[in-house]
Amino acid sequence: MDIDKETQQKIKQLQIFEQNFQTILMQKQAFQMELTETENALSEIAKSKGDIYKMIGQIMIKTDKNKVESELKRKQELLSLRLKTLEKQESELTEQLEGLRTEIMKKMK
């Protein structure tokens, strides 16, 4: 089958979009894991009645419970915001991918 240059360009563009889509999915997964860890840490802090320790490098340091809780809540908000942004990008890219796939399939028939 002979494919015209315009269709070849669209196929290349589709491949780039698919690579971008995979990158977004990997970033989204990493942020989701980090958000889950942060939420688990907040849950454990809420249950804690004693001292709180924080890992800094290879050592543990006793720290203020309220300070750590505040830091984790800010981190949670930031991660949630990043996830929403990635989900929006994912949605937009999905639409573009579907449109481009449809267009390519029509030209190749």
Q: Which domains does the chain have, with CATH numbers?
A: 5-87 (1.10.287.370)
Q: Collect all residues with Cβ–Cβ distance below 8 Å to 41 and sequence separation of at least 6.
A: 72
Q: pLDDT digit of tens for each residue in the chain (109 aa)?
A: 567 888 889 999 999 999 999 999 999 999 999 999 999 999 999 999 889 999 999 999 999 999 999 999 999 999 999 999 999 999 999 999 999 999 988 888 7
d(CA 8, CA 20): 19
**What pTM did the predictor assign?**
0.83
Residue 71 phi/psi, 5° resolution?
-60, -45
Closest to 40 (Cα-Cα) out of 79, 92, 13, 89: 79
